[in-house]
Amino acid sequence: MKKIILIILISFNILYFEKVTANTNEKLYEKIDLFGEVLEKIKQEYVDEIEQADVMDSAINGVLQSLDPYSAYMSPELFKSMQTESKGEFGGLGIEIGMEAGVVKVIAPISDTPADKAGIKAGDYIVRINNTQVQGKSLMEAVKLMRGPVGSSIELTIRRKNVKKPLIFKIQRQIIEVKSVEAKILGKKNDIGYVKLKSFNENSDKQFISNIKKFEKEKKLIGYIIDLRNNPGGLLTQAITITDFFLDQGEIVSTKGRNITETRKFFARSGDGVKGKPVIVLINNGSASASEIFAGALKDHKRAIILGENSYGKGSVQSVIPLRNGGGIRLTISKYYLPSGKSISEVGVSPDITIKENDSQSENNEDNQLNYAVKLFQS
């Protein structure tokens, strides 16, 4: 009797699964038919004649951008141009950008680049590039518009929070060569190590650790200030290596994706490179991705005081995937999680001590966040 009941239950589950799958497929086909109908109406009724292939590209990109601000479609032409690595041929501005509600948003200007020197800030919205309206463009199309010959000029129209009128910046494109680490000694007694990390590129860990070890060997320091403000991130491997330098044990970060290969945990190896000296980490709205891994891990392990403003909240990993037509897609394949288990995505890392950055016109442009960190050590 039990066998009969079991067979009936299995048969019911199979029939139910097949029914759900059939209903799902039916709805999908209905939507595909609806899309075809809309495309035909556009072709017949729209005020201007349109190229249907371009409409399809926009539709594909719309699907990807509906997923998150970092996924995007690249046509074959755009994909090829994005892969160009001819040194000296193309120049850039030095900004990391993303999408928000169909608008291009500045994640962070990279320090000492044309965008940073011109006054572009994290959180700015780019609404126009030269005479081209940006809204409706894909992220990759916006990037392409900003690239051009070295020495050529570009005009960006910016919308900034709490500023009523649009701001216009004229910037000259340059080859962006980022020296990712700057280091110096601060404090009245010259006993505080200051290291500014501008990005997490291929050689950042070597530069960073080399500077710290030099300080440890030559100076009697009471602690370190690590400045990650306007650091848009970079390589996960670099974030892990640099974070590991300050931790003696414990989890640094984990990644979770649909594929098992994208679900991993990374742990610190034994040994604290500064032997437990106090650390203050400076962050702001332009600190993203790898910066948030570093700050979040040290915060969760109570290894550092985090000072400044809430970070950007880019806690995801993108992969560039080639397509059969010669184009490609930039697709989010996993998300970062801090040792506490919290996701960085859309949330960011909150500071232990919130110090708002001075307005650019106030107090002689003094760096109040850095000054506060120095006073903490001296007190």
39-62: average pLDDT: 83
d(CA 108, CA 348): 14
Tell me which amino acid residue 209 is.
I
Domain boundaries, the chain: 76-172, 181-378
Weakest-pLDDT range from 3-7, 136-140, 155-159:
3-7
Question: Is the pLDDT reported for residue 28 higher than 70?
Answer: yes
Position 151 scores a pLDDT of: 87
Instruction: For residue 275, give every residue at least 6 positions away whose Cβ sits within 8 Å of its Cβ, in sequence order, or none.
Output: none
From 80, 152, 163, select the one nearest 125 (Cα to Cα).
Answer: 163
Q: Pick the catalytic residue: 71, 75, 289, 316?
A: 289
Say if strands 305-308 and 279-283 run parallel, antiparallel, or are unpaired. parallel
Q: Pick the catalytic residue: 300, 311, 316, 334?
A: 300
Hey, is 331 helix, strand or coil? strand
Q: Are 319 and 261 in contact (CB under 8 A)?
A: no
Active-site residue 319, yes or no?
A: no
Question: Is the pLDDT reported for residue 240 higher than 60?
Answer: yes
Most confident option among 46-60, 103-117, 206-220, 300-314: 300-314
CATH class held by domain 181-378: alpha beta
Position 251 scores a pLDDT of: 97
Q: Are 344 and 336 in contact (CB under 8 A)?
A: yes
Average pLDDT along the chain: 85
Q: Which residue has the tokens 């409409």?
A: 55
Q: Give one DSSP letter per residue of 72-99, joined into a string.
A: EEE-HHHHHHHT---TTT-BB--EEEEE
Position 373 scores a pLDDT of: 95
Question: Is the pLDDT reported for residue 364 higher than 70?
Answer: no
Hey, is 117 helix, strand or coil? helix
Active-site residue 275, yes or no?
A: no
Position 75 scores a pLDDT of: 84
* CATH code of the region 76-172: 2.30.42.10
Position 178 scores a pLDDT of: 73
d(CA 287, CA 306): 12
Active-site residue 359, yes or no?
A: no
Most confident option among 29-33, 49-53, 244-248, 317-321: 244-248
Hey, is 250 helix, strand or coil? coil
49-67: average pLDDT: 83
10-32: average pLDDT: 65
pLDDT in tens, 162-190: 888 999 999 998 887 777 899 999 988 99
Position 244 scores a pLDDT of: 97
